[in-house]
Structure 1
């Protein structure tokens, strides 16, 4: 299966703005009751495991009650740099003002409300949750705030994010990934996260692989389960999902189908033997047809589903 090596910049303006926001940031709700939606625009691109977005918008409120409600919603830590205008983030009992050249890092899986009380220009960085140590994520039970004039790391990150958006069209995938990794390291340093020791802590790819496997098990019966869906939920690129599976010597898709076949074999072993049961098992596990299921099952176990069931019942 071919792997895309370049993802274009995604952009939207006006009425398309809220739709792209939900696609990129999860199940958020935008309210422009006090502002002009037509003045809004954004551009976004992947930087390896990260996503960097630039947006300009009139006054509006972002409600994030159920950001990861759907399987395809990205589960990522979010960072906002306020380039112009004023905003306030309410989360976990804290009301955090975000002024010009200010930065806020927060966990959007926790309910929040972001009030942009003036027209704003912002840079947003989404980092996959697995890129930060568990202790760092736990510290984000409440938002982390910083100001460029008071924090040198904040100034460096702000400058890097801004310059990257201006040069994004001239960066190939490898350079984008390198810049994204630099941003991750800056964020880790800002929130006081110590680098994990290789001997005692799993690598980021190991952690990512474990989270992907848990996600696949939970959604194994969904016919639309795909590498793209997994990447969006993990908050990383499709290429990083493939990299995480290199140790398995299977592609993510092959892993999904093999797991489905294993589950089918277990269900056939306990099957009651009534007419249509094999087809029910196949469709319930996401196979498109009985023929598709039979071919895959025979290739995996060297017997047809009916032969497998009869052998186990005898």
Structure 2
């Protein structure tokens, strides 16, 4: 089966006392799965399902069992879905993309039906599953790739979204009810905001990482005479314009960062006992200052003392 069957809008709960019937129900309402019964007692399960516009919501209660979206089943899929799961009772263990998460009640995670995954439920597990087709939002595959089988944060928003869709399902909306689209649009926005925050690194953190990479590159090329903004931008795999914008956010320019990094390392060299035999001119040249007079001026402007005085006062003894 390539697609899950469309769901009827009903709040009735279906109950199962045999694993075969449960297997058929799951594969009628979700992309095809391989299933196994791990219960030590007679198997029992229950489910209620509702179609909500493009989405479908299923509340599940199950004895110990597992489902596998195998590589073969994933490859056969002609449509992709994001599966969002809220754990309500018991435990759920989800594995995908070499990641694994164990959900306790009150927590949520997601997985991607286009790639293999495994879900294992404990006895007495209860969960809510929202199935979202990828054509709803082009960003969903990227979110799933970065976040599958990890615990979702921002649980207040996740719980609010679950409350909204659960309340909508209980109202048994007609297929053409305009209120359904309004509610699901709001829910989609809440989920997208949560996914985006979790999947996209904080821009300030990215800036700090890029600045550290720039400083490291300069530190490993201190003596290079051609250590220019263009070369630094190329080393960071960014354009010159992006490099200038990045450094401007930190109150810097490429030239200032290069000079500042060279001066800090020259300062350390002047204070190091192992380099006492090197002249100030030697240290200046080793740190990219071809002109010792320019080095002295820049050093005094930065540290308030000429290099010779700094060395005598701060050198290791």
TM norm structure 2: 0.52
In structure 2, how many angstroms separate the alpha carbons of the residues matched to 1:57 and 1:42? 9
Among 66, 80, 84, which residue is 1:61 paired with?
66
Alignment of 1:165-176 (within 5 A): 165-168=169-172, 173-176=177-180
Q: Which runs of 5+ in 1 are unaligned?
A: 1-5, 194-314
Alignment of 1:38-57 (within 5 A): 38-57=43-62
In structure 1, how many angstroms separate the alpha carbons of the residues matched to 2:49 and 2:131? 11
Give the corresponding residue for 2:181.
177
In structure 1, how many angstroms separate the alpha carbons of the residues matched to 2:195 and 2:59? 23
Shift in alpha-carbon separation, 1:99–1:153, aligned structure 2, 3 A: same
2:94–2:100 Cα contact (<8 Å) kept? yes
1:145 to 2:145 alignment: no
Alignment of 1:103-252 (within 5 A): 103-134=108-139, 136-141=140-145, 142-143=147-148, 144-146=150-152, 151-168=155-172, 173-192=177-196
In structure 1, how many angstroms separate the alpha carbons of the residues matched to 2:92 and 2:54? 27
Give the corresponding residue for 2:298.
none
Q: Deviation string for 1:188-207 (max 9, x for gaps)?
A: 111117xxxxxxxxxxxxxx
Shift in alpha-carbon separation, 1:70–1:91, aligned structure 2, 3 A: closer
CA RMSD after TM alignment: 2.9
Shift in alpha-carbon separation, 1:69–1:172, aligned structure 2, 3 A: same
Q: Deviation string for 1:221-258 (max 9, x for gaps)?
A: xxxxxxxxxxxxxxxxxxxxxxxxxxxxxxxxxxxxxx
Residue 113 of structure 1 and its aligned partner are, at CA, apart by 0.6
Give the corresponding residue for 1:3.
none
2:63–2:124 Cα contact (<8 Å) kept? yes
For 2:188, what is the secondary structure of its paired residue?
helix
Residue 41 of structure 1 and its aligned partner are, at CA, apart by 1.3
Q: Deviation string for 1:248-277 (max 9, x for gaps)?
A: xxxxxxxxxxxxxxxxxxxxxxxxxxxxxx
TM norm structure 1: 0.52
Q: Say how many residue pairs are matched.
A: 185
Residue 124 of structure 1 and its aligned partner are, at CA, apart by 0.6
Residue 131 of structure 1 and its aligned partner are, at CA, apart by 1.7
Residue 29 of structure 1 and its aligned partner are, at CA, apart by 1.6
Give the corresponding residue for 1:34.
39
Give the corresponding residue for 1:78.
83
Q: Which runs of 5+ in 2 are unaligned?
A: 1-6, 198-317
Kindly indicate whether structure 1 or structure 2 has the higher relative contact order, using CA contacts under 8 Å at least 6 residues apart.
1
For 1:168, what is the secondary structure of its paired residue?
coil
Shift in alpha-carbon separation, 1:114–1:39, aligned structure 2, 3 A: same
For 1:178, what is the secondary structure of its paired residue?
helix
